[in-house]
Amino acid sequence: MKFKKKFGETKPRIPTASLPDVIFQLILFFMVTTTIKVYDVKVRYILPEAAAIEKIENKRLVSYIWVGRDGRIQIDDNIVQLDDIVDIMYRKRQENPNVIVSLRIDRDSKMGIVIDIQQRLRKADALRINYSALQKL
Amino acid sequence: MFKRRKRAEAEIPSASMADIAFELMIFFLVATTFDVDTGIGLVLPPAAETTEQVKVKQSNIAKLLVNAAGEVLLDGELITVPQIRETIKNKIKQNPKLIISIKTDRETSYSRYIEVLDELKLAYNDLREEYSLRTFGKSFKDLTRDQQEEVKKEIPIRISIAEPEEVK
C-alpha cells in the first residue's frame, strides 16, 4: 500500500512580519525595568574648571557631597549638618570600603567649609576624594 | 471595452524590519551618554589621632601656601599660579621624594585652590609623560595598563593636605 504525502506542495513559512514588534517589546521592557539612580539636587552650585581632570572609572563606588553657594551641604537627597557627615560617611564606608567621595562644591565657596568637610571625612576614614570639576578648554 | 488585468498581490518584504529595529536600538544605545563624573582625585591623609606622626625631612617637603587673597607662596616665595607647574616640575626633578604640602586659609576661594591643585596635577602629568617617553618611547596614554601602573609607581603623586589649624 502506498501512502500519499499530503503536504509538501507549498513551502511552509513562519510569518516574520511581527518580529519587529517583538523586538520593540524587548526595548520597551528594558527601558521600563532599567532604573538609573538620579539624585534630586537641592543646592545650587557651579563647578570649578580644571585642565588635568580624570574620569572616575567606577561609578558604583562614588558617593556625592554637594555644597551649594549658600553653604548648605547635601548628601544623598538630604540636606545635612556638618557634624552629621562623620556618621553618614562612616556608614557608607562600612558598606563599601573603597568609597570615593565626589565633592561637588560651588566654585565661589570658601576653603573653610571644604576644610571642615575634609576633616570630617578623615574622621570617618573616607579618604579617597575627588574634587568634581569641569574640563577647562 | 478595457478589461482590467488581474495582478498578483504585491507584498512588501517585512522580514528585515526586525533588523531595522535592531539598528535603531543599537544607534540609541551608542548615542546615549550618561554624564561622566570628572574631577581631580586625591587621597586625604588619615585622621591625625589614629596614626602616629611620620617624620619627614624638611628638605623633602615643598610648602605651598595659598592665602585669603589667593596669593601663592611656595617655600616662602611668592609665585603666580601659572608658574607653579614649571617650578614644581623642576623641584621634583631635583628631588624625586618631594612631598607637596598644600595649606590654605579658611577664606581662600575654592576655585583658587582647584587652580593650584590643577597646576600640580599638570606638573605630575608632564613628568609621567616625560618618563614614559624616555622608557617606553610612547606617550603615557598609549601605554598598556601595566605600563601605566609602572609609570605611576615610578612617579607617584605626593600631594598632601596640611593639617589645618584648630579653629577656636
The complex's ipTM works out to 0.75
**CB crowding B74-109: b at 16 or more within 10 Å, else e:** beeeebeeeebbebbbeebeeeeebbbbbbbbeebb
Distance in angstroms (rounded) separating the CA atoms of residues B17 and B13: 8
Residue B9: HSE in the Cβ half-sphere, 13 Å Cα cutoff: 2
Distance in angstroms (rounded) separating the CA atoms of residues B26 and B32: 10
Instruction: For A81-90, write each residue's pLDDT tens digit.
Output: 988 889 999 8
Distance in angstroms (rounded) separating the CA atoms of residues A69 and A48: 12
pLDDT for B83 equals 87
Domain ranges of chain B: 59-161
Q: Do A52 and B121 make contact, defined as CB atoms within 8 angstroms?
A: yes
On whether the CB atoms of residues A61 and A95 are closer than 8 A, the answer is: no
Distance in angstroms (rounded) separating the CA atoms of residues B101 and B110: 17
Domain ranges of chain A: 49-135
Of the two residues B1 and B40, the one the predictor is more confident about is B40
pLDDT for A106 equals 92
pLDDT tops 50 at residue A39: yes
Task: Report the residue from A62, A123, A127 with minimal CB separation from B43.
Answer: A127
Any idea which fold A49-135 has? Nucleotidyltransferase; domain 5 (3.30.420)
Residue B10: how many other CB atoms lie within 10 Å: 5
**Virtual CA dihedral for B129, B110, A49, A55, nearest 10 degrees?**
60
- Summarize the confidence of residues A109-129 as an average pLDDT: 89
Instruction: For B140-168, write each residue's pLDDT tens digit.
Output: 888 888 888 888 888 888 888 887 776 54
Query: What is the residue-averaged pLDDT of chain A?
Result: 86
pLDDT for A104 equals 92
pTM for the complete prediction?
0.76
CA nearest neighbour of A75 among A63, A83, A86: A63
Beta bridge partners, B14, equal none
Question: Which residues of chain A does B21 touch, with a Cβ-Cβ cutoff of 8 Å?
Answer: 20, 23-24, 27
β-strands B72-74, B77-79: how paired?
A: antiparallel
- The minimum CA-CA distance between B34 and chain A, rounded to whole Å, is 10
Q: Do A111 and B44 make contact, defined as CB atoms within 8 angstroms?
A: no
What stretches of chain A adopt beta strand conformation (E)?
A: 49-50, 54-55, 62-67, 73-75, 78-80, 100-105, 128-132, 134-135
Residue B101: HSE in the Cβ half-sphere, 13 Å Cα cutoff: 15
Q: Quickly list H helices, B32-96.
A: 81-94
- Summarize the confidence of residues B81-106 as an average pLDDT: 87
Single-letter amino acid, residue B122: L
pLDDT tops 80 at residue A8: no
- Summarize the confidence of residues B76-93 as an average pLDDT: 88
Q: Residue A29 — very low, low, confident or very high, per pLDDT cuts 50/70/90?
A: very high
Instruction: For A61-116, write each residue's pLDDT tens digit.
Output: 888 999 998 889 999 888 999 888 899 998 999 988 889 999 999 988 888 899 99
- The minimum CA-CA distance between A52 and chain B, rounded to whole Å, is 6
Instruction: For B30-78, write each residue's pLDDT tens digit.
Output: 888 776 788 888 888 887 766 666 777 778 888 888 888 888 888 888 8
CATH 1.10.3720.10 fits B59-161, yes or no: no
pLDDT tops 50 at residue A122: yes
pLDDT for B135 equals 85
- What residue has cell string 606638573? B123
CA nearest neighbour of B101 among B45, B61, B73: B61
**Mutant choice from A24, A57, A110 vs B, greatest count of B C-beta within 10 A:** A110
Q: Do A52 and B47 make contact, defined as CB atoms within 8 angstroms?
A: no
- Summarize the confidence of residues A4-16 as an average pLDDT: 72
pLDDT for B168 equals 44
pLDDT for A7 equals 60
Instruction: For B109-146, write each residue's pLDDT tens digit.
Output: 999 999 999 999 999 888 888 888 888 888 888 888 88
Q: Do A23 and B22 make contact, defined as CB atoms within 8 angstroms?
A: yes
